[in-house]
Amino acid sequence: MSNNEEQDKTSKLWGGRFSEATDEFVQRFTASVSFDQRLYQYDIDGSIAHAKMLGKVGVLTADELKQIENGLEAIRTEITNGEFSWSVELEDVHMNIESALTEKIGDVGKKLHTGRSRNDQVATDIRLYVRDEIDMVCELITKVQSALVEIAEKEAATIFPGFTHLQTAQPVTFGHHMLAWFEMLERDYSRFQDCRRRVNQSPLGAAALAGTTFQIDRDYTAELLGFDAPTNNSLDSVSDRDFAIELAAAASLLMTHLSRFSEELVLWTSAQFNFVELPDRFCTGSSIMPQKKNPDVPELIRGKSGRVVGHLVSLLNLMKSQPLAYNKDNQEDKEPLFDLLDTVKDSLFAYSEMVPAVVCNKEAMLAATMKGFATATDLADYLVKKGLPFRDAHDVVGRSVSFAIEQQVDLSELTLEQLQQFSDLVDADVFDVLTLEGSIKARDHKGGTAPSQVQIAAVNAKALLTSR
């Protein structure tokens, strides 16, 4: 064995039982330090909590604990300042930090890993990371929701075409439409909160898979790290990543919502719809067509929703064939997890900036609502209230609409005599329901689009946000 190989073999923290150095390819292939180094804060927090616990139960002396803590804090500062040199030979964030600790404080550093394994260590790191990320995601969701409520209050009576099949269906208010997005985000928020409860359990102490022979205090480390409680089963603790999958599922739904919203923004900002305008700073131009102002940000969010859903599928597949307990497969959880959370946060941030800056073009909204016989259902309801069975009313209105199309006018522009050709139940009061204002005002019940209801819903929504 050459000197170099001897050195490489022994430089590994687990090198003791090996007789040759790791293949260079295997080293690169199995290393995770290039991406898991971003967990360093959590790794150090976890190590300090573990060391404190070892001190409490008498495995470390007070002086040893102090040295380990100081050493880890010094390493934290080095990493934060970009002065730490990461090494692929040391495989991952955990062994890089542990090895730097021993280099810094000597043999005492080697005691840190007592009663612990990288398996419970990495499970702890990821849970701490995911918990923080959930909190950031939830804060951003709340920001977008607040912006939606602001618009809803301002545009509670603004007439807007309600669509089904992307065809004008019935008039609604723009405020009501904005509050629909609020509701979707509200469910997203609660899904993340729900997931957080299952994330916030401490796997530390599970060690490699079976626990440890030391009399550790898992309640203490859980408490130090802000976990609700220690997990119940050591095998489960180091092996399952269901909390990450759940998070990815919540993120996928959120991105699906943002993607749908983006689709609307793309349509609405087109010359054909022209309902809203996005601020210039959120759009880009074309290198060849000087007139263009493209809604790139919503388009990208719509596009990026795909990668988040992809990460959910990756994580599910990563998990599905693993026997208990820890397997190296689990190292593959990180890149999808990081990328999906980065994507979700960027997308929400974009929305938190874009939504408050949306400018409504009320005339275009109104004109579009006027075009699609949006009050046809109101006319049918009117006839029903006068005693006509709904199916017959539907037929009367259908024939009225057909006539209006021929005349190239809206239903509200037909004369009383023209309307009476189709039913003698029609009176002069019909025009109250044929106007757009009359139509939206009439939908005056919980969850309806009447401006008064939108105001109530906005007040409730605001109260919900301030109670967080």
- Binding residues vs ligand ARG (CB under 6 A): 32, 36, 92, 118-119, 122, 326, 328, 330-331
420 in helix, strand or coil?
helix
Q: Of 327 and 421, which has the nearer Cβ to ligand ARG?
A: 327
User: Shortest distance, CB of residue 118 to ligand ARG, whole angstroms?
Assistant: 4
User: Shortest distance, CB of residue 121 to ligand ARG, whole angstroms?
Assistant: 7
Q: Of 30 and 193, which has the nearer Cβ to ligand ARG?
A: 30
CA proximity to 189, closest of 158, 233, 222, 145: 145
Q: Of 331 and 423, which has the nearer Cβ to ligand ARG?
A: 331
Q: Which residues pair with 277 in a beta bridge?
A: 359
Q: Of 32 and 259, which has the nearer Cβ to ligand ARG?
A: 32
Q: Of 35 and 214, which has the nearer Cβ to ligand ARG?
A: 35
Q: CB neighbours of 223 closer than 8 A, spacing ≥ 6?
A: none
Q: CB neighbours of 464 closer than 8 A, spacing ≥ 6?
A: 186
User: Shortest distance, CB of residue 10 to ligand ARG, whole angstroms?
Assistant: 19
Beta strand segments in 292-358, E: none
Measured distance CA(223)–CA(230) in Å, rounded: 9
The gap from C-alpha 204 to its chain's centroid, in whole angstroms, comes to 27
Measured distance CA(200)–CA(204) in Å, rounded: 12
Q: How far apart are the first and last CA of the chain?
A: 64
Catalytic pick from 11, 34, 270, 286? 286
Largest CA distance in the chain: 105
User: Shortest distance, CB of residue 49 to ligand ARG, whole angstroms?
Assistant: 18
User: Shortest distance, CB of residue 31 to ligand ARG, whole angstroms?
Assistant: 8
Measured distance CA(75)–CA(51) in Å, rounded: 15
Q: Of 36 and 155, which has the nearer Cβ to ligand ARG?
A: 36
**Residue labelled with tokens 């022994």:** 10
User: Shortest distance, CB of residue 353 to ligand ARG, whole angstroms?
Assistant: 34
Taken as a whole, the chain contains a residue count of 468
Residue 148, CA distances (Å) to 19, 246, 319, 357 in order? 64, 27, 38, 11
Q: Of 123 and 365, which has the nearer Cβ to ligand ARG?
A: 123
Cβ count within 10 A of residue 458: 24
The HSE-up count of residue 274 (CA atoms within 13 Å, CB side) is 9
CA proximity to 297, closest of 343, 358, 354: 354
User: Shortest distance, CB of residue 161 to ligand ARG, whole angstroms?
Assistant: 51
User: Shortest distance, CB of residue 94 to ligand ARG, whole angstroms?
Assistant: 6
Find out whether 412 and 434 touch, Cβ atoms under 8 Å: yes
Q: Of 75 and 122, which has the nearer Cβ to ligand ARG?
A: 122
CA proximity to 279, closest of 295, 267, 261: 295
Residue 286 appears among annotated catalytic residues = yes
CA proximity to 454, closest of 162, 194, 30, 85: 162
Find out whether 85 and 184 touch, Cβ atoms under 8 Å: no
Structure tokens of 232? 């119940």
Find out whether 173 and 451 touch, Cβ atoms under 8 Å: yes
Catalytic pick from 165, 321, 445, 467? 165
Active site residues: 165, 286
